[in-house]
Amino acid sequence: MKLENHNKLTDALGDDHIATSAENPIRKDAFLLSDSEKIDAIQADVKNILNTLGMDLTDDSLKGTPKRVAKMFVNEIFGGLSPEKKPQASTFENKYNYGEMLVEKNITLYSTCEHHLLPIVGKAHIAYISNGTVVGLSKMNRIVDYFAKRPQVQERLTIQIVKELQIILNTDDVACVIDAKHLCVNSRGIRDIDSSTVTSEYGGQFKNTEIKREFLDYIKFNTEDKRI
């Protein structure tokens, strides 16, 4: 009966895009198993899924698929679930007294929709105003990548990036805009290949209309190298 009620609830929700919290719903016992133990367990589960679908796992093309998928889940696309893989973001004193906003735009983003486990692909744009410290540019990309490598909801991902940088930089003056395509919309369901989702989170001075507009104007700049 409990399973039946659960199925009725999920059917009622359908494809609704919901998020329950600004934190990923991770169980307290999530890290009791080692990565190798998780790979073994997921490998068996993937094998069962493919068998259930009627695939012949003795075929040379498929026999290694369960192991490949399991390793990919643990080591790659969901690697951001592990606290041990959180990037160390050292800060430095703003000795040159740069007082304007710093914008890191067009950060390539690959994530996974937690509702259908299909890819989310897009760009993140980040800005902050120094409160006396600065962070290495590549660390901003790594922070995006770390929080993206989880089963995610785009709204949550946007908030997590801003909160993490606010902690690292000891300032509320951080903003993030993400523009991404969700394959759960583009490749299934409504199959709208042209639509994308835009989310934003603004902290501190970025809530000011003029500063927010300046940030958004920077995002519009065409900085592509035409020689490439």
Which amino acids are annotated catalytic?
113-116, 154, 182, 184
| 201 closest CA partner among 159, 172, 161, 160 | 159
How many CB atoms sit inside 10 A of residue 182's CB?
23
What pairing do the DSSP bridges indicate for beta strands 133-135 and 151-152? unpaired
Please, which residues have CB within 8 angstroms of residue 78's CB and are 6 or more apart in sequence?
112, 149, 150, 151
Say how far apart CA 75 and CA 58 lie, in whole Å: 25
d(CA 164, CA 146): 11
Cα separation of 30 and 102, whole Å?
Answer: 36
Q: How many CB atoms lie within 10 A of CB 102?
A: 16
Across 50-67, b (16+ Cβ under 10 Å) vs e yields beeeeeeeeeeeeeebbe
Q: Return the half-sphere exposure (C-beta side, CA atoms, 13 A cut-off) of residue 131.
A: 13
16: alpha, beta or left, given left = phi > 0 and alpha = psi -120 to 50? beta
